[in-house]
Amino acid sequence: MLAKYRELRAAFDAVAQVGQDPFGVIFDRVVSATEALLGGRRILLLGTNNYLGLTFEESCVAEAVAAIQAEGTGTTGSRIANGSYGGHAMLEARLAKFLKRRRAMVFSTGYQANLGTLAALAGPKDHLLLDADSHASIYDGARLAGAQVTRFRHNDPEDLRRRLRRLASQPGEKLVVTEGIYSMLGDTAPLRDIVEVKREAGAWLMVDEAHSLGVLGEAGRGLAEAEGVEADVDYVVGTFSKSLGAVGGFCASDVEDFDLLRLASRPYMFTASLPPGVVASVSQAIEVMESQPLRRSRLHRNVRHFQGGLVAAGFDLGPSASPIASIRCPDQPTAIRFWNGLLQAGVYVNLAIGSATPEGRPLLRTSICAEHTPEQIELAIAAIRAVGTELGMTGNATLGAAAE
C-alpha cells in the first residue's frame, strides 16, 4: 500500500544523509519561549511562531492548570454530541468582543478552522478565488467544499479583478480568500486593493489572520485592522497556535445566521472540542495580548534588529519586514547544509523545501519572538552570518526589503 511513496522515501533519505534529520528533531525539553534542550545542549529557538512569547506566560499557565484541575484533561467528544463546556461559550464571546465581531466559533485546530469554514460556506455551485500561495488548509478546505476553484497570482489584485470579471455571468457566490501574513516569506496581502476589487465584484471576502493576529494593528487584530478595512472583511479566520501560544482555531463574522455554520461544518461537528486547559489559557492570552501592548512593541523592535542584521550581511530575504524572515537558498543541498550548520551552532530554524515554498525554492525560515533578548538576536545573526559565509551566501545576494 505504501509503495507509492518510494520516491518520497528516496527524497527523505537524501535529506537525512546530509546530517541531522530536519523532520525528526525531538527536543529533550523546551525550557522557555526562546530556548530548548536538544541532545543535552541549549538551543536557541528561532522557528516557533511564538510571536508574543506566551507559551510560558505565568498567568496563562496558571489558568490552564486551574481549569484542568476543575474540569479534567479533555472533553472526549464534539460539542454537537457531548455538549459545550461553559469555557467554550465564554471563549467565543471573548474572542468576538476582541475582534469586534457579532459571533465567533472555535475549532480544535487552526487547520480545521480553514477546512471547516470553507467547506461550510461554499458548495459545488459556488466559486472560491484563492491566492496562489494560500496555505494547505485553504486548498484542502476548497477540496472538501467541492466548489469551483480559481487561483489568482500571489498578492495581485489586478489578476483577481480579471478573474472575477470572467466569472461575473456565472451563477453562484464568489468568495475571495487571502491571508494577513503569508507563512513562508512573511509578506502581507495588499488588502485595501483586494477589498476594492471585492466591492466592485459584489464578492465575499475571508482573511486568514493566523500569522498576523497579535502582530499587526494597534490592538493586534491583524492586517484588516492595520489597513482599516475590517468592515469589508466578511469572515476572519485564525489560530491560537501562534501569538496566543496554544492550539485551536476560530472563525468570526458579522454575517447574519453565522451560527448555522455549526450545523454545516463537518470538521466542527465531528471533532472533539478543545480541552478545558487550552480554553482557559487562550482566554487568558487574549487578556494579556490586550493589556500588554508593549509585547507587540518588543516584537517589532526585535524584527527590525534581526532583519536589519541579515540584510546587512547580504542575505536574500522575503519582500517585507514581519516576524517571519526567510533566507532564500540557491538549491536544496545548500539549504540542508545551512540548516545543519545552524543546528550545530545552537540555533534552530525551519527548513522549508519542496512544494510548500513559493516557486518551490528552498528556504531557511525564521520567526522572531517578543521574548528574544537583544543578546539572543545578536547570537542568531552571528551564527547565520558565519554559516552563510562558509556556504558563500553572504555579501553578493540580491537583497530583499530591509526591515523598516
For residue 42, which amino acid is it? R
The confidence band for 60, taking pLDDT boundaries of 50, 70 and 90, is very high
Q: Is the pLDDT score of 403 beyond 50?
A: no
9-45+293-390 in CATH: which number? 3.90.1150.10
pLDDT of 398 reads 37
Mean pLDDT of 174-202: 97
What is the rounded CA–CA span in Å between residue 144 and residue 118?
8
CATH topology assigned to domain 58-291: Aspartate Aminotransferase; domain 2 (3.40.640)
Provide the mean pLDDT of the chain.
94
Does the active-site annotation cover 174? no
pLDDT tens track for 272-281: 999 999 999 9
3-state secondary structure of 239: strand
CA distance 67 to 261: 28
Averaged over 358-368, what is the pLDDT?
90
Q: What is the mean pLDDT of residues 303-327?
A: 91
Q: Report whether pLDDT(399) > 60.
A: no
Average pLDDT on 200-224 reads 98
Active-site position among 134, 183, 241, 283? 183
Classify 214 in phi/psi space as left (phi over 0), alpha (psi -120 to 50) or beta: left
Global confidence as pTM? 0.94
pLDDT at 153 over 90: yes
Set 88, 127, 174, 211: catalytic member: 211
How much is the average pLDDT of 248-267? 97
138 exposure class (CB count in 10 Å sphere: 0-12, 13-18, 19+): buried
Span 63-84, mean pLDDT?
97
Tell me whether residue 305 is one of the annotated catalytic residues: no
Confidence (pLDDT) at 395: 62
Annotated active-site residue 212? The verdict is no
**Res. 356: pLDDT tops 80:** no
**φ and ψ of 70, to 5 deg:** -85, -35
- When pLDDT is cut at 50, 70 and 90, the band that residue 140 belongs to is very high
Between CA 284 and CA 271 the distance in angstroms is 24
| Residue 8 binned pLDDT confidence (cut-offs 50, 70, 90) | confident
Q: What does the domain layout of the chain look like in residue ranges?
A: 9-45+293-390, 58-291
Is residue 5 packed enough to be buried (19+ CB in 10 Å), middle (13-18) or exposed (0-12)? exposed
pLDDT at 57 over 70: yes
308: number of Cβ within 10 Å: 16
Give me the percent of the chain exceeding a pLDDT of 70.
Answer: 97
Start-to-end C-alpha separation, the chain: 51
Question: Helix (H, G, I), strand (E, B), or coil: what is residue 30?
Answer: strand
Q: Which of 174, 242, 300, 372 is catalytic?
A: 242
Q: Read off the pLDDT band of 354 (50, 70, 90).
A: confident
